Chain A
Amino acid sequence: MSSLLTVSQSPHIYTPDDTKKLMRGVIIALIPAFIASVYYFGWGALIITATSVLSCIIFEYVIQKYLIRGPVTITDNSAIVTGLLLAFNLPSNLPVPLVILGALVAIGIGKMSFGGLGNNPFNPALVGRVFLLISFPVQMTTWPVPSGFKTGYADAITGATPLGILKEGIRNGEKVSQLMNQIPDHMQMFYGHMGGSMGEVAALALLIGFIYMLARKIITWHIPVAVTGSVALFTGILWLINPEKNADPLFHLLTGGVLLGAIFMATDYVTSPMVPKAMIIYGIGIGVITVIIRVYGAYPEGVSFAILIMNAFVPLMNAWIKPKRFGEEVRNG
């Protein structure tokens, strides 16, 4: 025994689940979606994911080491999560320089400029994605159709996404029932057989990740259920009012980034509220704004914008919405 004993305040034991392991858990939960994206988009998925993840790690390292000159924390796995989520939000044929630029914006502006992990108000991956979408709208909305490794990275065959077909068709006065013939059926969409950002298409894979994160207690159900529930409710009402002008709720849940956003982007710890009640409000906000953009806005898809807008309200929600205190309202029979 050493002559001196360690003395510290209680508690003396700590959970083995540290930040690094939680982030690793998110990465594990993203693996099914990654496998699906490789299956559907082949080389493109591999190249973009590798570029994005590597760029995020390198940018974080360079900024922490040479710009901030503070401790380097790339081993906490959070840059990998940002890199994966950014990649999953991109079309699989995006030129590599743009991916690197997106990673720079995500890590440099989205994360490090606010002080690094824990301090950023907006989801870094979405900051990168929306920057690319606004700056390079053509490249960012050219979607390869799923063809696995049959086509290469650069020569992928492109086509419209289901949401794009719907938006364009309705604008041209076509009916939803006719448009649905050009769109894969719901079951195919559930498996991910459609155009779109490479990580968002496979609903099944995303749901597996969701169940894993729930079981590992990495996230709670509140945000994903609130987002999907409000999307389903809002689009359901519109669909019941006019099924020829509005697609059904299941279509809206399976297409675009609703599931990826609800499960992985909106639940980002740093940029989401901390009290269950606030999580529900935040989730409903995302769902409602998404549908408003999809149905009434200029873009066919609105999940990214919806999440970023609701991110801005998180500090207010954290300040205003309090958990129910023990012994606050006492009802004792």
Chain B
Amino acid sequence: MLKTFPKGGVHPPENKLTAGCSIEVLPPPETVIVPVTQHLGSPAAVAVNKGDKVLTGQLIARATGYISANIHSPASGTVSKIDTATDISGYKQTCIFIDVSGDEWMSDIDRSPDVISDIKLTPEEIIQKCLDCGIVGLGGATFPTHVKLKIPAGKKCNLLIINGVECEPWLTSDHRLMLEKGEEIITGIRIMMKALGVTKAIIGIENNKPDAISHLVRLLDGSGDIKVQGLKVKYPQGGEKQLIKALTGREVPSGGLPIDVGVVVQNAGTAFAVYEAVQKNKPLFERVVTVTGKSLAKPGNFLVRIGTPVARLIEAAGGVPGDTGKVISGGPMMGKALANLQTPVVKGTSGIIVFPAEESSRPQTGPCIRCSKCISACPMGLEPYLLMNLAEKGFFDKMKAEKVTDCIECGSCSYICPAHRPLLDYIRLGKTTLLKMMREKSIK
């Protein structure tokens, strides 16, 4: 039986054009641009100098602080400069520029295609390996995986949930990965189960990927530790809290984390990265990116080195279409519009979507007709229209009681609004202003 989360959600057109496109390997570009912040937490510290020769997979920036991640060279070559460049957020940040020559990998990386399913490392060693290899959550939030695999004192974990939902329209990178690297993902899941000390895992996959569901079920062949659960298609099912609710009925308390209900959630792509790190000693320097759009000649899924400029990906998909008006990194519901096609791919880049000009600008806004569709769509049980009104009028302190900090910024409210009001924009304004006020202790 299919499950789903009970409250809210929307059904945007799926547009999964690339679901049938096998993963294509894209060779490294002439220059890679590697930002030192590709994860949630503090930036990594640059560990190379201009002129240094580096190999593919060599550590080039070291994690600083507890929540941070190592960064490895995605290609072999020479560090040409350490400078700032625009990243996906649109801000300038420190990047390591490497002139690529050849593709010589670190000798300790196992490049053989054999699947190694025997897990030799201890839980501590697994967590250390994830830290060493710079593994972060590949669903988009890029939270360092080694932190998530360590259960905080006083908390208990009894279930690992694998997020194979891919609820964002257009994106198919996790779908393809589950189809083509199923065995590796399953081993990756068992590695994480060992690290967490849990005996049960559930893979949640939406029903629009029946081939991935049946493929994984077949590979698991009745082994009882990992279960595949089909889910009704509904956005934002890939949201951690929604997925936990859908699969287990457990509800993460307001302000809490999944571990508060005994669950750790990891993305299917992350499971693959963990497999490669632990079994193959391979750091995270490449990932699968869906490159898609109605006007693209050859949309597809590409295995891309981190630091590859987005322009290169679009070239591989048939070149920038003449009618292009907007390029989005990520999904259309939560992704970021890029200002510059030289922006490099980072660990969190799940897709590049090219929108034609006529779909690029926002529709005209009208008055709120109080249709309450935003309330029905909100998966967190909030009142987006009210939050927008409060933010618009500057009543940021009042937004606290209305639970604005629970907003997961899924965009369902802005999507569904028949007057196309900029609900989420104002909610973001309110949320950041409120959090700033709370930090400064100007309100309790």
Contacts and interface: CB of A to CB of B under 8 A. Distances in A.
Contacts of B406: 325-327
A6 B361 contact: yes
A7 B251 contact: no
A233 B254 CA distance: 39
B12 A323 contact: no
A109 interface: no
Interface residues of B, number: 77
B318 to A, nearest CB: 13
A270 B362 CA distance: 24
A10 B371 contact: no
Contacts of B256: 327
A2 B355 CA distance: 13
Given A6-B361, A10-B411, A13-B415, A275 B372 contact: yes
Interface stretch (A38-46, A116-124, A131-139, A159-167): A116-124
A8 B254 contact: no
B381 interface: yes
A118 B355 contact: no
Nearest to A273: B372
Contacts of A275: 372, 375, 383
A236 B128 CA distance: 72
Interface stretch (A18-26, A170-178, A247-255, A299-307): A18-26
B424 A5 contact: no
A76 interface: yes
Given A5-B339, A18-B418, A327-B256, A11 B368 contact: no
Contact of B375 (A323, A328, A333): A323
Contacts of B7: 324, 326
- Residue from the set A5, A220, A328 with the largest chain B CB neighbour count within 10 Å: A5
Interface in B300-331: 320-328, 330
Contacts of A14: 362-363, 414-415, 417, 420
Interface string B397-417: 000000100100101001111
A116 to B, nearest CB: 7
A215 to B, nearest CB: 15
Chain B binding surface, main DSSP class? loop
B360 A13 contact: no
Interface residues of A, number: 44
B357 interface: yes
A6 B326 contact: yes
B20 interface: no
Contact of A270 (B337, B363, B369): B369
B354 to A, nearest CB: 9
Contacts of B330: 10
B261 interface: yes
A119 B443 CA distance: 32
A304 B175 CA distance: 55
B326 A12 contact: yes
Interface in B342-393: 353, 355, 357, 359-363, 366-372, 375-376, 378-383, 385-386
Contacts of A2: 324-325, 357
Contacts of A327: 241, 251-256, 380, 406
Nearest to B425: A9
Nearest to B386: A318
Contacts of B336: 10
Interface in B16-62: none
B251 A10 contact: no
Contacts of A333: 249
Contacts of A328: 254, 381, 403
B106 interface: no
A325 B367 contact: no
Contacts of A101: none
B164 interface: no
B173 to A, nearest CB: 18
B372 A5 contact: no
B337 A8 contact: yes
Interface string A255-271: 00000000000000110
Contacts of B10: 15
Contact of A326 (B241, B325, B362, B376): B241
B337 A117 contact: no
Contact of B367 (A11, A22, A116, A322): A116
Output the residue of A8, A273, A275 with the most chain B CB within 10 A. A8
Contacts of A21: 418
B338 interface: yes
A18 B372 CA distance: 13
B337 A7 contact: yes
Which of B256, B371, B376 gathers the greatest number of chain A CB atoms within 10 Å? B371
Given A5-B360, A330-B252, A332-B251, 19 more contacts: A1-B320, A1-B321, A5-B338, A8-B362, A9-B337, A9-B422, A10-B424, A11-B415, A12-B337, A13-B13, A13-B359, A14-B414, A17-B418, A117-B369, A118-B369, A220-B376, A273-B372, A322-B383, A326-B379
28 contacts: A1-B324, A5-B327, A5-B339, A5-B360, A6-B326, A7-B326, A7-B337, A7-B338, A9-B425, A10-B328, A10-B337, A11-B333, A11-B411, A11-B415, A12-B326, A12-B333, A13-B333, A15-B10, A18-B419, A19-B418, A22-B418, A76-B366, A116-B367, A117-B366, A118-B419, A275-B372, A325-B382, A327-B253
Chain A to chain B: the 8 pairs with minimum beta-carbon distance, closest first: A11-B411, A274-B372, A118-B367, A327-B254, A6-B360, A325-B381, A269-B371, A326-B380
Interface of B: 7, 10, 12-13, 90, 169, 241, 245, 249-256, 261, 320-328, 330, 332-341, 353, 355, 357, 359-363, 366-372, 375-376, 378-383, 385-386, 403, 406, 409, 411, 414-420, 422, 424-425, 428
